[in-house]
Chains A and B, each alone.
Chain A
Amino acid sequence: MTELRVESLAKRFGGLRVFQNIGFTLPEGGLLGVIGPNGAGKTTLINVISGRQMASAGKVVLGGRDITNQPAHAVSRLGLARSFQQTNTFKSVSVNENIARAVRFGGRGAPVGLTRMMDTFGLTPRLHEISDKLPYGLQKMLGLVMAFASAPKIVLLDEPAAGLERAERQNVDTFVQIVRDAGTSVLIVEHDMDLIRRLCPRILVLDAGVLLADGPPAEVLARPDVIAAYLGEAGEA
């Protein structure tokens, strides 16, 4: 069973505390949203879980195996993929080569739904274009497709809708749907509250590096402390 468990996780940069005592479990096939104001530590949380940055304390357990402070490539090999806030493609090569690399490096073969995903996002007719030349929205979707193309067990999405036009944001819903159909768990960090409400049966709220709330969106988003910490300032986003 591939469950992601985070226990008392903390990250400090010298004397600066980014987050502390973060704990949650993402069950196999689950979907978890993470929200919080800018600077709450959301991206750093993804970086620490995925091995890009070292944890200062606590544990990250993937499928019963302690992966705390394992390097990014080792975590990826164990089936945990991630996307980046900015586009995460190999910019100087074609769309086709980008996807081929993700599939080959993943070593688990192409996942079910990959072709459908590429068709849906309009990448199939542009396979031979250099990824850097694609419109931003398509580059962003290509980055998401690459995270899925390695056939991961869990995928961490860092603001997948950031920078996308309103119409393009629907593609994120489709992406999550296809990923979940393949049995992959999803952790999604996002500022788009409509998207979070639509997709996530459960959300975490981070504020100033502390886990403020954990539960269903309707319940969590009605809490006065959550409204004060986050929704008040970003509710219009």
Chain B
Amino acid sequence: MDQFVQAALIGISLGAQYALLALGFTLIFGILGVVNFSHGGFYMLGGYVAYSCVAFLGLPYPLAVLVAVAATAALGWVFELFLLERLVDDHLATLMLTLGLYLVISTGLLTVFGPLSMEFAFPVTGALHMGPIYVPRENLIVLAVCLTAIAALWLVLYRTDLGRGLRALADDRAVAMAQGLRPKLLFPLAFAIATGLAGLTGALVTPILSLSPGVGDPVLATSFLTVILGGLGSLEGAALAAFVVGIVEAFSSVYFGGSIGALVLFVLVLLLLVFRPTGLMGRTVRGA
């Protein structure tokens, strides 16, 4: 039973991290119709910016996280406004552009920081013991920040005019434009929100896992898998699927061993695509 509870807690913690990544990924797909292959790059960049702020500038870690969010959001905004925007309706071009950006980010980080993992430790250590259950404090902090960020994103999307506009663009761009919405203003903002979320996740998680120029690859794979499971473009689906992925991964690791987790997940997604191609909460048609 203790093992079960511990696996569930790990799963929820992982799920919250995946949710932040997947929400950003699906936000960009839903609103711009772009599959953002640079998403893992922004995760990595968030980690490196936070690391640099702490290691070179001596900033306290919470401030470094905020700087990482601002930097990744700003880069996302600039990238969308000056490059992606020009080709936003050309799916092949946006795929190449975002993949290219990922290569630029990862190669740039490799050139500047080298191939080895950085010594970047989470500032809080130790564990919380609840009877026989052991939960690392760092995981609890990351979980709390992720849940706060998800709640903040929900508030922005569902309780503000900006969010109403973003959702309208995702629902039907032509109708939204006929109603007076400006994609050229809202697309960069949506992209910046998504990349800022990836940067936040990177700044929070890389001190716990690892920080090296290759850590963006599995992040892209997990984000992609999560949003397909949830239904491309569906925010609710992405959040739900992220927790499913986190919990499946945690239970598979605890009960069957580490390498089985990925296998179970891919089988799950494969079955879902066969029986429900639109994902858990996906839509059949997307207006553009």
24 cross-chain CB contacts under 8 A = A52-B177, A73-B182, A73-B183, A74-B182, A76-B178, A84-B174, A88-B174, A88-B175, A88-B178, A89-B175, A90-B172, A90-B175, A91-B171, A92-B283, A93-B171, A102-B179, A105-B165, A105-B168, A105-B180, A105-B181, A106-B180, A107-B180, A150-B179, A150-B180
For the A-B complex, the count of residue pairs with Cβ-Cβ distances under 8 Å equals 60
Residue of A nearest to B169 (CB): A90
Residue of B nearest to A100 (CB): B164
**Residues A76 and B171 in contact, CB atoms below 8 Å apart:** no
Nearest CB of A to B40, in Å: 29
Interface residues of B in 86-135 (CB under 8 A from A): none
Find chain A residues with CB under 8 A from B172 CB: 88, 90-91
With A101-B164, A104-B161, A104-B164 given, is the CB distance from A92 to B171 under 8 Å?
yes
Find chain A residues with CB under 8 A from B180 CB: 73, 76-77, 105-107, 150
Q: How far is the CA of A52 from the CA of B176 in the complex (A)?
A: 12
A81 at the interface (CB under 8 A from B): yes
Which among A71, A84, A105 has the highest number of chain B CB atoms within 10 Å? Answer: A105
With A92-B283, A101-B164, A104-B164 given, is the CB distance from A146 to B179 under 8 Å?
yes
Q: How far is the CA of A106 from the CA of B287 in the complex (A)?
A: 21
A82-B178, A88-B172 known, 7 other contacts, Cβ within 8 Å: A72-B178, A73-B177, A73-B180, A81-B178, A88-B178, A90-B175, A101-B179
**Residues A90 and B182 in contact, CB atoms below 8 Å apart:** no
Find chain B residues with CB under 8 A from A50 CB: 178
Q: A17-61 interface mask toward B, CB cutoff 8 Å, 1 = contact, 0 = none?
A: 000000000000000000000000000000000101000000000
**Residues B179 and A76 in contact, CB atoms below 8 Å apart:** yes
Chain A: residues with CB nearer than 8 A to chain B?
50, 52, 71-74, 76-77, 81-82, 84, 88-93, 100-102, 104-107, 146, 150
Q: Please give the number of chain B residues whose Cβ is less than 8 angstroms from any Cβ of chain A in the complex.
A: 19
Q: How far is the CA of A75 from the CA of B183 in the complex (A)?
A: 14
Find chain B residues with CB under 8 A from A52 CB: 174, 177-178
Interface residues of B in 10-51 (CB under 8 A from A): none
Find chain B residues with CB under 8 A from A90 CB: 168, 171-172, 175-176
Nearest CB of A to B173, in Å: 10
Could you say which of A71, A91, A101, A150 contacts B177, with CB atoms under 8 Å apart?
A71
Find chain B residues with CB under 8 A from A100 CB: 164
Nearest CB of A to B162, in Å: 11
Find chain A residues with CB under 8 A from B161 CB: 104
Nearest CB of A to B178, in Å: 6
Which among A50, A73, A106, A146 has the highest number of chain B CB atoms within 10 Å? Answer: A73
Q: B224-244 interface mask toward A, CB cutoff 8 Å, 1 = contact, 0 = none?
A: 000000000000000000000
Find chain B residues with CB under 8 A from A81 CB: 178
Interface residues of B in 229-288 (CB under 8 A from A): 283, 287
Nearest CB of B to A36, in Å: 22
Q: Which 9 A-B residue pairings sit nearest by Cβ, starting from the closest?
A: A76-B180, A90-B171, A105-B179, A72-B177, A73-B182, A105-B180, A77-B180, A73-B177, A88-B175
Find chain A residues with CB under 8 A from B175 CB: 84, 88-90
Nearest CB of A to B51, in Å: 41
Q: How far is the CA of A105 from the CA of B174 in the complex (A)?
A: 14
Q: How far is the CA of A42 from the CA of B178 in the complex (A)?
A: 18
Nearest CB of B to A133, in Å: 14
Find chain B residues with CB under 8 A from A84 CB: 174-175, 178
Residue of A nearest to B180 (CB): A76
Q: How far is the CA of A93 from the CA of B164 in the complex (A)?
A: 11
Residue of A nearest to B287 (CB): A91
Find chain B residues with CB under 8 A from A72 CB: 177-178
